Amino acid sequence: MVELAPLLAAKALKMNRIFIDGQAGTTGLQIHERLSVRTDIELIEIDPAERKNPDAKQSIIDQADVVVLCLPDDAAREAVRNTKNTHTRFIDASTAHRVNPDWTYGMPELMPGQRDAIASARLISNPGCYPTGFLATVKPLISAGVLAHDALISISAISGYSGGGRQLIEKYESEGANWPARPYSLALKHKHVPEMAQYAGLSTSPLFTPTVGHFYKGMLVSVPIHRDQLVKTNSIENVHQLISDQYATEPCINVMPLNDDAELQDGFLNPEAANGTNRVDVFVYGHNDQMMLIARLDNLGKGAAGAVVQNLNLMLQVTELEGLSL
């Protein structure tokens, strides 16, 4: 006699079909690693020989509940443009759609209602790594009116070299044994600046100077604030409290104690200490005249693949942190 209970249970368990378009890249591999052990997800893949066949790829996309795009910007736009069905949902990990008003920005912690917007959206743009850190520090101050929308903001950051993708990883690991930290994007036109300004609510683009460090992954994003930039308060304690209150119930943003010496190693802040997590650590250092807001995160975790998984969980209406570490 056939037992019906296991059959009914299996039927009741819906397997969500996910296609990672570009899973061989740095971010795609990280996403695949996180999803491959899930029992609620079926990863569907394209024959490597058919990857450049648009008809074969479109057939796979049409079968998927959610497609994660880990592609160059133009290829990501093309993949969405060529999809005619209305049931497949997309998470785009490229910069292609991040300031497109038809796409929902995939940072649940950005503001009230953002988490629900992500859960119901068909099109999600996954945030950049640098903007994730920047927004985690300044967005609460701008939303509260403590920093004005026309504030002139500068940002410095250092990231592990994995953020540059496979080619940069190979260069660092084959040629760069003695390379020091190296600033880049010195023309001040980094591709992350538009989303920084748009989602912070700034009327003037921030001045952003990133640096690649000689380590694989990890990131610090630093925003200096002078007392004269503050509108409603001149107390570093109040600034720290405001940020703490904003994220009090957010599992993925951890606001550290004010002037947290315990996190310093001989006076240095370790950019790798959040690696392997989907966590952003937010620090406030300084005094009432000058403050330094710093976000620390894994550029491949909360800055990329981890954020994709967090957004996917919201879209699938499963536990938000399923498959993620804090």
Catalytic sites, residue numbers: 129
- Tell me which DSSP letter residue 301 carries: I
Q: Which residues contact 322 (CB under 8 A, 6 or more apart)?
A: 38, 40, 309, 313
Contact 122, 311 (CB under 8 A): no
* Residues paired with 42 in a beta bridge: 17
Distance between CA atoms of residues 73 and 94, nearest Å: 6
Helix 129-143 to helix 236-246 angle, to the nearest 10 degrees? 110
Distance between CA atoms of residues 233 and 39, nearest Å: 50
Sign of the torsion formed by the C-alpha atoms of 224, 226, 232 and 238: positive
Contact 202, 152 (CB under 8 A): no
Q: Count the Cβ atoms, other than its own, within 10 Å of residue 82.
A: 12
Amino acid making up residue 259: N
Helices (H), 14-164: 26-35, 54-63, 73-81, 114-120, 129-143
Distance between CA atoms of residues 285 and 246, nearest Å: 18
Nearest to 118 by CA among 136, 131, 103: 103
Rounded to an integer, what is the distance from CA 174 to the centroid of its chain? Answer: 28
Distance between CA atoms of residues 296 and 65, nearest Å: 33
